[in-house]
Structure 1
Amino acid sequence: MEMQIAKAPTDPEKNRPYFYIIKDKELFTQSDEEGKGVSFLYQSDGRLISSATFTGNVTDEHILKLMETVDGFKKLVHSVGVSVEMEDKDKQAEFVFQMYGKKDLYGGGANLIANVNTNSQEERIYLNDIAWTDDDDVPGQIRIHTDAPEEKAFLSVRFFLNDGFEAPPQLEEKPVDTASPEYKEMIDRSLVNLGNTKRLVDVVNKAKAGEDVNICYIGGSITQGAGATPINEECYARKSFLGFKKLMGNGDNIHYVKAGVGGTPSELGMIRFDRDVLRDGTVEPDLLVVEFAVNDEGDETKGNCFESLVRRALKLPSKPAVMLMFSVFADDYNLQDRLSPVGFRYDLPMASVKDAVVPQFYDRDKRILTKHQYFYDMFHPTNLGHTIMADCLINIMEKAIEKGADESYDPRLSEAPAIGNTFDDVILVDKKDDTNLVSVQPGGFVYTDDVLQSVEMDMDLKLSPEFPYNWMYDGAKGSSEPFEMDVECKALVIVMKDSGEVDAATAKVYVDGKFVRDLDPYVNRWCHCNPLIVINEKETAKHHVRVEVDKDDVRNKFTILGFGLVK
């Protein structure tokens, strides 16, 4: 047999500079419309640039700028390398990198598609082979399609660069030892305030006595579990619940309520509190964790809604312990400085994952974990990140038990608030709830929208739609008349549906005949719930509210999801 001599590779592409935007990222597929599996990784609104920064170590401003648009992306990227690893190495997965369109957000842009083996073998997509479109606007989203839902996969994506571009060295990371003294020291840094321990220790004693205890969570997408895979088991809420449960005797009398909704501020949280946390009066919280520190930039009241939500919880007959959690984005942003005065005002326990992890990100000698290890994308934590968040909360409970219960706790709710208490008693009004408080003439808003933002509640992997009892206007079906409502209130928040769909209409709100504000689902341009204040007065009065859809042959659908009303 003639001996085969190994030859050096001659493929010049092997030497192209590259950087990762996704590296060994754990995914968990959800069921799609056909019963197969799909996982989404959104790249728009700065996410791609952020991933290139903390996963790919990219600092070159020119390279980062090019990734903002499809035109720039094509100048920068020669090809995209994709690899997928699953437990079954003999399957195939479909990778899709979808460009968003200028006019047709989801349908107008080009798709970069590769069928990849699940044995981690890399496939290359060459940009010269792509049929680009005139509507191409920005890099939009990555999807992984598998032949079945609820499958775990590890995804890596790297950009090979065109001639003339240089890539930075790629970072190698060491595993994180969560049992080390350095890790414990990092977690200890998260304690902003232990607060009055009476209600916390009371919960522990109640649970140990065998009484039913409800541990509840409300917040944004991080509380929903974004970045955790699988989302129902690896999210910080579930992990901290299990930690609390262990400290409380581990009994089956300890129950879990998770109510996180992505992309929404406490302005929405306070409106859905009764429905999503109290479950319309069937749940009495004993411990409530509130997490809105990275979502509340969208709170029009700059903290009044957050404090109103906290006060609402403190006033409950069950007298729950309330914990505040301050999460963080990859750019080190959160609203801790705005929201922590609320916690100090009511002497609440507060945990800041920002205080825990951000300083060590920049300490090369004592770094415990990198941003890439903590962040799934620019907004959400990885499984490890969720573990760290959970450990920050468990740390508070351990310290409270160690200290013992304070003699008494009086939140002094009759005294002046830190920011505001306008919405302490806000009520959700929709087609189903509290309709007796308003008189509605729906006009053309006679349909019900079932294409809604949906979330995984509690331990569910199946999605529950938010605000299913809505009023939808559909010009294609003949809707033309405005929505009108007579209401007696001092404050009113309209919850509208945002959307990126081509037929999503704009509308205007009038109160007592006067124009108040425009309602445009394209401001956020994705399917989610958007609360907006339309009335905010010191005294209760009768008002007439009118919502009028702007006439347009194409953009002719608009949905009012509900209202938050303060009498």
Structure 2
Amino acid sequence: MRFSFFVLITISVFTYSAQAQTDTLSESREFLGREGLPNFFQKAQKGGPVSIAYFGGSITEAGNGWREQSLSWLQQQYPKANLTHINAAIGGTGSDLGVFRLKEHVLVHKPDLVFVEFAVNDGGQQPTKIHKAMEGIVRQIWRQNRRTDICFVYTLNAPMAPALLARRMPNSVRAMEDIANHYGIPSVHMGLEVIRLDRQGKLVWGGKKEDFPDKTVFAPDKTHPYSDTGHRLYVEALSKALQQIATVGKPGSHAIPKPFVSDNWENAQMISVQSMTRQGDWKELTPTTDTVARQLRNRFPYLLKSNQPGASIQFKIKGTMAGIYDVIGPGCGQYAVTVDGTPGALYPRFDSYATYYRSHYFFLPTLDEGTHTITLTVSPEPLDKAAILKNRNQTITDPRKYAENAVYASQLLIIGKLEK
């Protein structure tokens, strides 16, 4: 069996114009080495400190999952190297948030290798948005250090299965392959053995393992794999691919070609709301004094909260995008947003999953080039939380838990410059 993802059959496979390169998928082709990971492997073979960043969503964040298992495998392969890793994964987030948080969560650690895993969480995004975010991630990494190696890894879940069983790439993977091909970045589809087992009738996507003793149960929920089944299959595919990729490429600085899309998000940044102009009653929360801040202390170094209708945060940017990294949860209400004095949409910070508090984010519609004043205001308009929860057959058993209509704020997400 050849473990080669999108094996080079004709020279046209190298070109972006070859649609077959991004539309068709053979289950025996699990990786494409492109320009390899030569700087990482050279450093690992020599020994000494080597740092790996795992950048993705909940599938990467999971304990005893493909992240920890692959790190253990690499340590066995390169015993002289002092391998350390950065867990830069946040559940429920895609490359659109990733490109904004990359600097603070990954680049500050100066990694030698960055695994990028967003295929599942980007599943519902438009290809144009994925292009902008993924290209922004690549260009930010190489803007800091052109010797840092990057590897795209693709996970999967049950909703992706129909396309994969039809030997087509899911939309998110196809878009990411466009960027990988443009920049010569290796990519590994870690889930093709899962598809082979499904085709053979040997796999159950979701359920309890004890209920299917004669089959491989991928995950309890069809997305987040069991450590000894789905994650193990991921690591087996990745380890086979890395053994082949280790022979590809020459160490040195990566070339940075012209952008794939001119309006990519290379200049995305995340800025604390601590210094923003505030009106009304806002409380600075700390893990020692507030349960939400304590639950999310690994997400937010600084967190504000207000439950006062009309309280606001205001900032001015010269740029084209703005958003906020904040919280969704049972005691949350919604933001009313004003841009340059014109009222915009309401942004509820409560959804059908909001039986607990979790980090979240939202973006405003794309702004015209120029300087804009943006105001985020605590809306007095209440949400029908019972109706929202009913969408997932959830009920409110403790009304006190849902009584507040507060909003939280931690980081601004902008493309452009913050103006005074």
TM-score range with shorter-chain normalisation?
0.7 to 0.9
CA contact (8 A) 1:494 1:531 kept: yes
Partner of residue 292 from structure 1, selected from 110, 118, 128: 118
Q: What is the match of residue 307 of structure 2?
A: 474
Matched residue SS, 1:302: helix
Amino acid at match of 1:381: P
Conservation of the 8 A alpha-carbon contact between 1:271 and 1:564? yes
**Match for residue 259 of structure 1 among 72, 88, 93:** 88
User: CA distance change for structure 1 residues 289 and 264 in 2, over 3 Å: closer, same or farther?
Assistant: same
TM-score normalized by structure 1?
0.56
RMSD between aligned residues: 3.1
1:555 CA drift (Å)? 4.3
Is residue 559 of structure 1 aligned with residue 408 of structure 2? yes
Q: 2:340 matched to which residue of 1? A: 512
Separation of aligned partners in 2, 1:296 and 1:454: 28
Q: Does 1:379 align with 2:218?
A: no
Other-structure match for 1:196: 35
User: 1:407 Cα deviation (Å)?
Assistant: 7.2
Distance apart, 1:182 and its partner CA? 11
Q: Contact between 1:453 and 1:465, CA under 8 Å: does it hold in 2? A: no
CA separation in 1, counterparts of 2:365 and 2:266?
A: 15
Q: State the 1:193 CA deviation.
A: 1.5
How far did residue 464 of structure 1 move?
4.6
For 1:302, the equivalent position in structure 2 comes to: 129
Q: Name the aligned partner's letter for residue 288 of structure 1.
A: V
Q: Secondary structure at the match of 2:280?
A: coil
Instruction: Report the Cα offset of residue 299 of structure 1.
Output: 4.7
- Alpha-carbon distance, 1:190 to partner: 5.4
CA distance in structure 2 between the aligned counterparts of 1:214 and 1:421, rounded to whole angstroms = 31
Matches within 5 A, 1:166-315: 189=28, 191-197=30-36, 200-225=37-62, 231=63, 234-247=64-77, 249-251=78-80, 253-278=82-107, 281=108, 283-297=109-123, 299=125, 302-303=129-130, 304-315=132-143
**Hey, what's the Cα distance between the residues in 1 that align with 2:268 and 2:61?**
23
Whole-Å separation in 1 of the counterparts to 2:125 and 2:300: 19
Which ranges of 4 or more aligned residues in structure 1 deviate by more than 6 Å?
A: 181-185
Alignment of 1:423 with 2:265, yes or no, is yes
2:142–2:254 contact (8 Å) kept in structure 1:
no
Greater strand fraction, Structure 1 or Structure 2 = 1
Displacement of 1:559 in angstroms is 0.9
5 Å-filtered alignment, 1:11-410, equals: 189=28, 191-197=30-36, 200-225=37-62, 231=63, 234-247=64-77, 249-251=78-80, 253-278=82-107, 281=108, 283-297=109-123, 299=125, 302-303=129-130, 304-317=132-145, 319-333=147-161, 334=170, 335-364=172-201, 367=202, 369-371=203-205, 372-383=216-227, 384-401=229-246, 403-406=247-250, 410=254
The alpha-carbon deviation at position 258 of structure 1 amounts to: 1.2
Distance 1:261 1:362, change over 3 A: same
What TM-score do the two structures reach when normalised by structure 2? 0.74
State the alpha-carbon separation in 2 of the partners of residues 498 and 190 from structure 1: 40
**TM-aligned CA distance change 1:274 to 1:184, over 3 Å:** closer
- Mapped to 2, the partners of 1:454 and 1:277 lie a distance apart of 22
Q: 1:547 Cα deviation (Å)?
A: 1.1
Corresponding residue pairs, total: 349
Q: Which has the higher contact order (CA 8 A, sep 6+)?
A: 2
Residue type of the alignment partner of 1:467: F
Question: Where in structure 2 are there 5+ consecutive unaligned residues?
Answer: 6-25, 162-169, 206-215, 383-402
Higher helix share: 2
In the TM superposition, 1:453-532 aligns within 5 A as 464-475=297-308, 480-499=310-329, 501=330, 503-523=331-351, 525-526=353-354, 527-532=357-362
Question: Once the 2 structures are TM-superposed, how far is the Cα of residue 420 of structure 1 from its aligned partner?
Answer: 5.9
Deviations 1:465-506 (A, max 9, x none): 31241221123xxx643222233333222223212x1x3212
Q: Deviations over 1:64-84 (max 9, x none)?
A: xxxxxxxxxxxxxxxxxxxxx
Code of the residue aligned with 1:486 in structure 2: it is K
